[in-house]
Structure 1
Amino acid sequence: MDPLRTIACLIYPDFMSLDVTGPLQVFASANVERQRQGLPSAYRLLVLAEQPGPVATSAGFQLVAEQAWRDSNPAELDTLLIPGGLGEVAQCQNPALLAWLRAAEPKVRRLGSVCSGALILAAAGLLDGRRATTHWADVEALRTYPQIEVDGNRLHTYDPSARDGEAHVFTSAGVTAGIDLALALVEADLGRPLALAVARRLVMFLRRPGGQAQFSALLTPQANRTPRLLGLLEWMAQNLSADLSLEALASQANLSSRSLSRLFVQELGMGPGRYVERLRLEAARALLQDSGASISTVARLTGFNHPENLRRTFHKHLAVSPQDYAERFA
């Protein structure tokens, strides 16, 4: 009989409750599915904190930690998960915790984060030289660590094959992406059929289509950050179905094509063509969510002209089709 794998979640004041309860429920459900098959449980679940006892979540209710992290032996932990939450900022400045995490990293088989918990791992230096993701709203904060390869559109970076991620230290995106991560861990441990049974029981995708970009809105540039382009950007947003080629935009702005391209990169971090594509994509998303318009109508109104162009752009940026997006978010 395989020994129980200890799955530990490390909590702190004002952590996000679902970052902990979501993944732990996946592992608990894996135990239930094994028991239904006449097999022993595979996982032991453990909650750690600075000291044993109740810890307040960001929602106001409490979860009880069974053990202090400083008193636990990392070598006895199979997997250690760090959640995000409002209290993450304080933990990034907790030298005792960061030192303990650095000492634990080579001893645990797997060390991962959920949501903004990635920032705690980053503060400990454990993501240096690694690919990482986090909640879409915290991606820019993660980018302030220059040694980290940030991928803001990944649901998680766990990969047991180490071809497109890592099996030892990994991260996941916002909130429910922790459940996607936990399902991937169960699949690696116990096989696809068992993980699929858990996903079905929890009414989840085993592998959710698309990345987290489909859940976030592209940020609208702030006026104080784009003073030289503000008038043009406002005109573009009101004329999505017009000719928005580089030459047409340069004429509208009374600039040369080269000067306009340089200005876009300086103020927006991207060229005019890429900005136009994303602007039209954002408008299409809003129409699909709120108006109930047909795919062909949305394509025409947003300047994609043909549904196939809209479909290609959705797959490129969101990894889902316009139809699937509309069914999910409308």
Structure 2
Amino acid sequence: MKVIACLIYPGVMSLDVTGPMQVFASANVELVRQGLAPLYELQLLGETSGPVATSAGLKLHADASWLSTDCATLDTVLLPGGSSDAEQCANTALLTWLRGAEPQVRRLGSVCSGALMLASAGLLDGLIATTHWDDVEALQGFANVQVQGDRLHTYDPSDKDGHSHIFTSAGVTAGIDLALALIEADLGRPLALAVARRLVLFLRRSGGQTQFSPHLARCNGPTSRLTELLEWIALNLSEDLSLEALAQRSHMTPRTLYRVFFAELKITPARHIERVRLEAARAMIQGGQLSLQSVARLCGYGHAENLRRSFQKVLGVSPQGYAQRFGQ
């Protein structure tokens, strides 16, 4: 039996815990259906044993304290995120335990903002890592971590494009994607696919987490030099938005406008326009009232093929695929 331990603490996100653990439990069910013995033993570990209130107010029961657990008995440890992750990042006892557990367990991974705790323990130094899109900026504050914000998870049993020992996953349901990948590595693709079918999931979702995040969340707080121009851009996406045309409208030289954009928004004018056009197209597609050609024309792409290329480049999914997932 491989012991899968998930750490829990006050304010933990319930789905970060129950989502992956249910996937492992379902793998056991599939094994039994095939006449095989179950592989996984599931444990919840808290700072103390007993009930632990989640961020939803529901209570999970810690089977034992991680402080008194022999790490050598654990195969895989998962560290979920939650509303009190800042407190856990400063929990010296937890960080010390994680450092001690790391060389003893086969796999150590995080779900959502749990990556911040691994980073606080110094366990992500030099590694590729991801986290919930809203916590990517915080994770980037750890200079030695190679942050890839659009990854669903960084687990890779081959260690070619991720890591097999220490790994991270994006927000909430990405923990389920991670658990399926771990099961596939342990038991093979057919078993993992059977679990995915049973739970009505994709074995591998197309694209990354960018397609779920509000793409313009960080484009706020511009100075008065850009406020009027940014408002005009958002309302005139089908107009000429070249650097020269925008510079003329804002009464700056192209070079000055470029510098102001980068100083205030940390991106280039072209990148900002790409984001605004994409966000507008996403909203129109979600509304479900316009054809893709109309969306492309109104958002300044010109043709539906240009819209498709932008979606594939940034979101990793086609406009049609996005409409199927999120459209009305």
| TM-score for both structures, normalised by structure 1 | 0.97
Alignment partner of 2:150: what SS?
Answer: coil
Measure, in 2, the Cα distance between the counterparts of 1:105 and 1:221.
34
Change (3 A) 1:281 1:158: same
**Letter of the aligned partner of 1:157 in structure 2?**
T
Residue of 23, 37, 43 corresponding to 1:26: 23
Q: 1:222 to 1:197 in 2, by over 3 A?
A: closer
How far did 1:220 drift?
4.6
Matches within 5 A, 1:144-223: 144-220=141-217
Q: Which amino acid aligns with 1:150?
A: V
CA distance in 1: counterparts of 2:64 and 2:289, whole angstroms: 51
Aligned-partner SS, 1:229: helix
Give the corresponding residue for 2:92. Answer: 95
CA distance in 2, matches of 1:306, 1:222: 26
Partner of 1:299: 296
Corresponding residue number in structure 2 for 1:123? 120
Moved more, 210-219 or 305-314: 210-219
Amino acid at match of 1:211: G
The 3-state SS of whatever aligns with 1:320 is coil
User: Over residues 198-219 of structure 1, what are the superposed CA-to-partner deviations in whole Å (9 max), with x where a residue is unaligned?
Assistant: 0000000000111000001112
User: Could you list the per-position Cα deviations for residues 19-60 of structure 1 after superposition, in whole angstroms to 9, with x for gaps in the alignment?
Assistant: 010000110000110111111011111110001111001110
- 8 A contact 2:133–2:209 mirrored in 1: yes
Aligned residue identity for 2:54: T
**Closer, same or farther: CA 238–220 of 1 in aligned 2, 3 Å:** farther
Contact between 2:216 and 2:275, CA under 8 Å: does it hold in 1?
A: no
Equivalent pair of 2:216/2:279 in contact (CA under 8 Å): no
Amino acid at match of 2:257: L
User: How much has 1:129 moved relative to structure 2?
Assistant: 1.0
Q: Aligned partners of 2:36, 2:98: CA distance in 1, in Å? A: 33
User: Which consecutive unaligned segments of at least 5 residues does structure 1 have?
Assistant: none
Q: How does 1:233-248 map to 2 (within 5 A)?
A: 233-248=230-245
Deviations 1:134-156 (A, max 9, x none): 11111111111111111110000
Unpaired segments of 5 or more residues in structure 2? none
Q: Distance in 1 between matches of 2:42 and 2:219?
A: 45
Q: Are the structure 2 counterparts of residues 220 and 92 from structure 1 closer, same or farther at C-alpha, using a change threshold of 3 Å?
A: closer
1:226: how far off? 3.4
Give distance in 2, aligned partners of 1:247 and 1:272: 11
Residue 63, structure 1, aligned to residue 73, structure 2: no
- Asked if residue 73 in structure 1 is aligned to residue 70 in structure 2, the reply is yes
User: What amino acid sits opposite 1:149 in the alignment?
Assistant: Q
> 1: CA distance between counterparts of 2:275 and 2:16?
30
Match of 2:256 in 1: 259
Deviations 1:270-318 (A, max 9, x none): 1111111111001000111124211111001100010000000000000
Specify whether residues 138 and 246 from structure 1 end up closer, same or farther in structure 2 by C-alpha distance, changes over 3 A only.
same
Coordinate RMSD, CA, aligned = 1.1
Distance 1:216 1:223, change over 3 A: closer
Q: Residue 220 and residue 9 in structure 1: after superposition, are their counterparts in 2 closer, same or farther (change >3 A)?
A: closer
Check the 8 A contact 1:223/1:230 in 2, yes or no: no
Number of aligned residues: 327
Q: What one-letter code is carried by the residue in structure 1 that aligns with 2:58? A: F
Give the whole-Å Cα distance in 2 for the aligned partners of 1:75 and 1:256.
Answer: 64
- 1:289 maps onto 2:286 in alignment: yes
* 8 Å contact kept, 2:216–2:276: no
In structure 1, the residue corresponding to 2:5 is in which secondary structure?
Answer: strand
- 1:228 to partner: Cα distance: 2.0
Query: Matched residues in 2 for 1:179 and 1:319: separation?
Result: 19
2:35 aligned to 13, 38, 42, which one?
38
Where 1:228 maps in the other structure, the secondary structure is helix
Q: 2:152 touches 2:169 (CA, 8 Å); kept in 1? A: yes
Query: Cα distance, 1:71 vs. partner?
Result: 0.7
| Residues 157, 165 of structure 1: 8 Å contact kept | yes
The 1-side partners of 2:256 and 2:273 are apart by 17
8 Å Cα contact 1:226-1:268 kept in structure 2: no
User: What TM-score does the superposition give when structure 2 sets the normalisation length?
Assistant: 0.98
**Structure 1, residues 74-107: CA drift from partner, whole Å, max 9, x if none?**
1111100000010211111111111010111111
Q: Distance in 1 between matches of 2:205 and 2:108?
A: 22
Name the SS of the counterpart of 1:8 in structure 2.
Answer: strand
Equivalent-residue separation in structure 2 for 1:223 and 1:53 (angstroms): 44
Identity fraction in percent: 64
- The 3-state SS of whatever aligns with 1:155 is coil
